[in-house]
A = this chain, B = another copy of it.
């Protein structure tokens, strides 16, 4: 895909300070509060948010703030353990109280703050515990060293087994991202929160123009369980501190970080034992290719077959035949994905079965008709951390990929026992 190599780490770019703390939202007593502050002038920002009709309070507030501040932000607040979703006007007031606390502590306008939250839907935020924790963190806990961003990533985790991070150097500039989210994840924004920070100098309009298509190729191609959460958010923030301007290289760096984070999230899907990547070529266009890739990694039956290391290509063919062009572009604050604009959602992708070829772990298993292959050899290859399913639709130059994970008894257990 021409993307640069990424480094699996979080490195705070220049122009930011960051820190994390324990505010007592999580019963576990683990870190649950993170602040990223912009030094000096506000940074340029773009965002994408969930399309769920029950958006969380931080989504509602952040969207309003971005509209009001013209894409210039001074702080990002994250809380974990409580999603502050389905909490109505009271929840929105809670979220605004936290924004006010951040703004007051940093001496900025509350509308220059953005926020994310993750955790249970329904409960109210313990504002009385979080406000003093914010004050303490801003007063003494923010650092400018590269490792400070890792602390924020750790404080975002809920059911994640590990933090997700990725960094790219683009000349003298740094792009570094962190993310959380391993369940309630589905295309049209995973249930997930991500920050991508850079010290490059890029205007908000350029960030917005980049972010929509990048999310369309990365996070919108990620699925764990088919549920789109009330809280999905991606923030792309550029401090400008490196003085490096926009370039195609920088855009590719941002996409590489986004793609790596999405893949890390799929691999850490709840209960998952392996990452499933579906790569589609030969589609009429990239939108069709992405739809087919998404259908394959979304299929419960494909996911269960991969878990059983069963090269059950019939289920893959079935999933290809079910592929639908995604619903209308949803990258609200990032602007529309131009590739997808004008495409009608909800329609089956037109596929000619006679032209379709399918590979599992590089072994051809279908070529318009079933082909003879050694199932035992494919099973053997399927004992890998990443299972690659290749699909050639034989109908054009469109390419796309999607990321998912196997469906396991552990997923069901985890989600049956997770308590309200």
Listed in ascending order, the chain A residues whose CB lies under 8 Å from chain B are 51-55, 83, 85-90, 120-123, 183-184, 225-230, 298-301, 304-305, 307-308, 310-315, 317-328, 344-351, 353-354, 366, 368-370, 375, 407-409, 411-413, 415-420
Contact = CB atoms under 8 A, between A and B. Distances in A.
A307 B412 contact: yes
A326 B89 CA distance: 31
Contacts of A327: 324, 345-348
A415 B300 contact: yes
Given A122-B314, A420-B311, A88 B346 contact: no
A228 B299 CA distance: 10
How many chain copies? 2
Given A86-B314, A121-B315, A311-B420, A301 B184 contact: yes
B230 A370 contact: no
A184 B318 contact: yes
A380 to B, nearest CB: 15
Contacts of A122: 313-314, 317, 366, 370
Given A88-B369, A299-B227, A301-B184, A54 B321 contact: yes
Contacts of A301: 183-184, 225, 227, 415
A415 B345 contact: no
B88 A416 contact: no
A226 B307 CA distance: 17
A381 to B, nearest CB: 15
Contact of A225 (B53, B300, B417): B300
A285 to B, nearest CB: 16
Contacts of A52: 318, 321-322, 348
15 contacts: A53-B351, A83-B314, A86-B366, A88-B353, A90-B369, A120-B314, A123-B370, A183-B301, A230-B321, A307-B412, A310-B416, A344-B345, A344-B346, A345-B345, A345-B347
Contacts of A85: 314, 317-318
Contacts of A368: 88
A121 B420 contact: no
Given A227-B300, A230-B318, A314-B420, A53 B184 contact: no
A86 B370 CA distance: 7
B227 A319 contact: yes
Contacts of A184: 301, 315, 318
Contacts of A318: 52, 54, 85, 121, 184, 227-230
Contacts of A344: 344-346
A413 B408 CA distance: 8
A121 B416 contact: no
A80 to B, nearest CB: 15
Given A53-B320, A300-B226, A87 B370 contact: yes
Contact of A322 (B227, B346, B408, B416): B227
Contacts of A90: 369
B314 A328 contact: no
Contacts of A350: 53
Nearest to A312: B420
A369 B90 CA distance: 9
Give the 9 A-B CB pairs with smallest separation, nearest first. Answer: A345-B346, A121-B314, A346-B346, A308-B416, A54-B321, A327-B346, A304-B415, A52-B321, A53-B321
A345 B347 CA distance: 7
Contacts of A323: 53
Contacts of A304: 411-412, 415-416
Contacts of A324: 327, 346
Nearest to A54: B321
B407 A412 contact: yes
